[in-house]
Amino acid sequence: MNVLLIGSGGREHAMAWKLAQSSLLDELYVTPGNPGVVRHGRQVVLDLNDQKKVRAFLKEKKIRIIVVGPEGPLVDGFHDRIAEDPTLKDVTVIGPRKIAAQLEGSKDFAKEFMFRHNIPTAAHRTFVKGQLKEAEEHLDRMTEPYVIKADGLAAGKGVIITNDKKEALRTIKGMLDGSSFGDAGQKVVIEQFLKGIELSAFLITDGEHFKILPSAKDYKRIGTGDTGPNTGGMGAVSPAPFADKDFMQKVHDRVAAPTIRGLRKEGIDYQGFLFMGLMNVNGEPYVIEYNVRLGDPEAQCILPRLRSDLLDLFEGIASGTLSECHVDVEDRTAVTIVMAAEGYPGKYATGEPILGLESVKDAYVFQSGTAMKGDQLITNGGRVLSVTAFGKDLEQAIMATYRSAALINFEGRYMRLDIGLDLVKKPTGKAATPQKA
Ligand code: AMP
Ligand code: GLY
């Protein structure tokens, strides 16, 4: 089977690596890819908006399955363009259509969907242009912290949590008048604050049946000890120790099943991954957000734990036999550490040589923001690469991952030193505090 993988990050590197192991795979094509991704597939240049060229490429290469890594093309209607092309009937897109991609593309759509289907989430109100006064009155009735979200895609930056009512109001004003987030902020969602610990849960679905994939805890803040601004994710642990059988059963029954049922009930086709961003509030899962893709760096942490053939699951979606597929997961714990360029998520340098990759023997290295300069791998993004290793328990996995990460270097290399440490129980039962590595 020939497959086209779309994307250029660490998530896509992990997907390409995993797909390349499949006995069902004939040829893997990747676009736009990165130097890590292209080690596992043939790189092609393809403008996804040029349907004529896309069609010609898919036909020429006899592509059966297109895997869309990031949300952008999905929210943009890429799946719809393929599905509505009568000459591409035998092509399956892994990733939902535009209407379902709104689960990620519009916070308001997602919240209303959850409300309709009784899926646990923070209470919310949505305000549009001209409703600043109503939003202010709403804030008056709330207690801090205030959670303010731009409705549309804002690359993870559209959420502000503050105790300061004036700042909350300024944020709302900036969003509603279009000055801070452009179109993404012209609707604003104000939410109740949920206190708990976050978890990323994933499923794969053909729209009718679904399979729960391994879960992961993501570390979103840039600073050791969960400080500083939010990032795309600085590390991950899979499984999270608190995501035990009981908790995951609740995720299955109260979130995953009603979500898939709700989509069907509303006549919305859904094929692909669904990322359920959850808050564990005293053992109860609440949905913070949906994403219509795998997470990054969660994919780099969970795909190495997946023993099953990923392409077999995709084929299950294509042929409507996902219910018969088996998801087999490695028991050991995986830890992923992201190496970033100093300054990220703000300004950072690029073009720094990356050294030491060949010394890493006991871990997987997935590339994100990298490029080639001649024969030399160089940095080319904020999040540069991620390192994943296994351990028989969380402590062992943390040590193994940091040991391998220490072998890789580039000018301005930055990584958090405490990935997973908050989850390691000290003998007293208290969580460990971050230490300098
Ligand atoms: P989102 O883009 O909706 O995932 O939000 C970004 C981050 O803000 C989340 O990962 C949480 O850490 C935090 N967050 C979002 N909504 C809430 C909420 N209702 N209560 C507490 N934290 C939240
Ligand atoms: N790591 C969070 C995300 O991919 O959205």
- pLDDT tens string 286-314: 999 999 999 999 999 999 999 999 999 99
Mean pLDDT of 184-206: 91
What is the CB-side half-sphere exposure of residue 199 using CA atoms within 13 A?
29
The yes-or-no verdict on residue 256 having pLDDT over 70 is: yes
pLDDT for 376: 97
Helix (H, G, I), strand (E, B) or coil at 266: coil
Ligand nearest to the CA of 199: 1
pLDDT digits (tens, 9 = 90+) for 311-351: 999 999 999 999 999 999 999 999 999 999 999 999 999 99
Position 186 pLDDT exceeds 80:
no
Would you say residue 177 has pLDDT above 90?
no
- 3-class DSSP state of 255: helix
Which pLDDT band holds residue 179 (cuts at 50, 70, 90)?
confident
pLDDT at residue 428 in the model: 57
How remote is the CA of residue 141 from the centroid of ligand 2, in Å? 32
Residue 437, pLDDT above cutoff 50? no
By most ligand atoms within 8 Å of CB, the mutation choice from 74, 103, 153, 200 for ligand 2 is 200
DSSP state of 69: -
Which residues does 15 contact at the CB level (< 8 Å), separation at least 6? 5, 7, 67, 69, 294, 299, 303, 310
| Mean pLDDT, rounded, for 130-137 | 88
SS3 99: helix
Best probe residue, ligand 1, of 148, 288, 292, 296 (max atoms within 8 Å of C-beta) = 288
HEC letters along 42-62: EECCCCCCCHHHHHHHHHHCC
To the nearest whole percent, how much of the chain has pLDDT over 70?
95
CA separation for the pair 10, 15 (Å, rounded): 9
Ligand 1 centroid distance, CA of 26 (Å): 41
Q: Which residues in 36-58 are b (16+ Cβ under 10 Å) and which e?
A: bbbebbeeeebebeeeeebbebb
Instruction: State the residue for tokens 């919240």.
Output: 111
Ligand 2 centroid to 220 CA: how many Å? 8
**Cβ of 159 below 6 Å from ligand 1:** yes
277 lines ligand 2 (CB under 6 A): no
Residue 392: what residue type? K
Q: Which ligand is nearest to the CA of 120?
A: 1
Query: For position 289, what pLDDT does the model report?
Result: 94
The number of CA neighbours under 13 Å toward the Cβ of 105 is 16
Lowest mean pLDDT among 180-189, 259-268, 300-309, 397-406: 180-189
- Of 52-56, 71-75, 235-239, 433-437, where does mean pLDDT reach its minimum? 433-437
CA 159 / ligand 1 centre spacing (Å): 7
- Which-ligand-closest: CA of 234? 2
So what's the pLDDT on residue 175?
86
Residue from 159, 193, 226, 230 whose mutation best tests the ligand 1 pocket (most atoms within 8 A of CB): 159
pLDDT tens digits, 22-33: 999 999 999 999
How high does pLDDT run on average in the chain?
93
